[in-house]
Amino acid sequence: MLWPALRSVLFQLDPERVHHLAHWALHRVPLAVARARRPASIPALAVRCMGLDFDGPVGLAAGFDKGDVALPGLFGLGFSHVEIGTITPRPQPGNDRPRLFRLPEHRALLNRMGFNNEGMEACARRLAALPPAARLGPVGINVGKNKVTPNEDAAADYLACIERLHPYADYLVVNISSPNTPGLRQLQERDALDRLLRACVRHLAERAPGKPLLVKLAPDLSPEALDEAVDVAIAAGAAGIVATNTTLSRAGVERHPRAAEAGGLSGAPLERLATDVVRRCYARAAGRVPIVGVGGVMDAEGAYAKIRAGATLVQAYTGLIYGGPAFVGRVNAGLARLLERDGFSTLSDAVGADHRQGGGKAAG
């Protein structure tokens, strides 16, 4: 396999430099090549969710494409959907470097990027210039507030992004769970969350009736706070829950030299915690909205665990970094085998299976 050797070379370089190189390469993939190289879809993995059709469950999580809009190249890797963002109203450079760290022995990343992006106008221009044929699957846009915007004024930032970007999104995600913007996670508290989501849902309903708006929650909420956040989100009209963002926990990496760095941890150490959060969200939602499972999806088994715990869709980012260009194809092929092993004819049949088979006790 060529990828492990290439990865060992790339991992000698600064992580952000490699990230920029990846975007440079992805932007140079012609649409025809992206279509030709896209792994063949597997009928059993097709999913219909929130009124949208996905040719498989595995999408690209927010954080990789922060408005660069390298869609043909990303879809060419096999992702069923791509979530762009987090996008803020105004450009911002993010936190000081270094701010992205690899933990290879743990198959993990630690980042404190801080919503670095060129702002909603740049993102909108790139999306508007994209030919419709480049959309080989649903495109989500993940939105947040600028670092300098106080929480009491946060709604204005989210509404501005929704107003500017909704024409180019198949769905939108309100990100209130990044650990790298000071005070952002306070927006997950009951009253603040209710006010923010009601305003966002109402605004999107006026501009684009029926377009889904989801909310992304942190994995570090207490069980009671997580239940409350799910209840508030559904009552406010959110169309789904994205669970989860990166974690402040260092469980499993405590002895690593980078463990003391500030920021959110992603990758394999997050897998079990994120799956437990998916399980609890699914139980609490009780079928009212779908769950998108994110966090530690490094292989087919990890994706399948989230699906059985209640995720209709799953998303990966760190898994791609460690797994390479063939990552999605391997996960999808593995999922098909796991479905067949367990006697499921479609992926939808497996969603929440643990709860129906006595394995759905909520975390905590």
Q: Based on the residue annotation, tell me whether 178 is a catalytic residue of this protein.
A: yes
CA distance 206 to 196: 16
Residue type, 201: V
54 annotated ligand-binding residue? no
CA distance 70 to 230: 32
115 annotated ligand-binding residue? yes
66 annotated ligand-binding residue? yes
Instruction: List beta partners, residue 49.
Output: 52
Tokens of 170: 């198949």
117 annotated ligand-binding residue? no
Instruction: Kindly compute the dihedral angle of the four CA atoms of residues 245, 142, 115, 291, in this order, to the nearest 10 degrees.
Output: 0
CA distance 309 to 291: 10
Residue type, 159: L
Instruction: List beta partners, residue 87.
Output: 143
Tokens of 227: 């239940």
Give percent helix, percent strand, percent coil of the chain, each to the nearest 5. 45, 15, 40
86 annotated ligand-binding residue? yes
330 annotated ligand-binding residue? no
332 annotated ligand-binding residue? no
Tokens of 210: 């029926």
247 annotated ligand-binding residue? no
181 annotated ligand-binding residue? no
361 annotated ligand-binding residue? no
63 annotated ligand-binding residue? yes
H or E segment to which residue 125 belongs = helix 119-129
Alpha-carbon torsion (207, 212, 218, 223), positive or negative: positive
Active-site pick, 8, 41, 80, 178: 178
245 annotated ligand-binding residue? yes
Cα-flanking dihedrals φ and ψ of residue 214, to 5°?
-115, 170
64 annotated ligand-binding residue? yes
Q: Are strands 139-143 and 82-87 parallel, antiparallel or unpaired?
A: parallel
146 annotated ligand-binding residue? no
116 annotated ligand-binding residue? no
151 annotated ligand-binding residue? no
112 annotated ligand-binding residue? yes
Distant-in-sequence, close-in-space partners of 243: CB < 8 Å, separation ≥ 6: 216, 217, 219, 274, 277, 278, 281, 291, 292, 293, 294, 295, 311
CA distance 26 to 72: 8
62 annotated ligand-binding residue? yes
85 annotated ligand-binding residue? no
Instruction: Tell me the three state secondary structure of residue 325.
Output: coil
Which residues are known to be catalytic? 178
Residues making up the binding site: 62-66, 86, 111-115, 142, 175, 180, 216, 244-246, 267, 296, 317-318
Residues making up the binding site for substrate: 66, 111-115, 175, 180, 245-246
Residues making up the binding site for FMN: 62-66, 86, 142, 175, 216, 244, 267, 296, 317-318
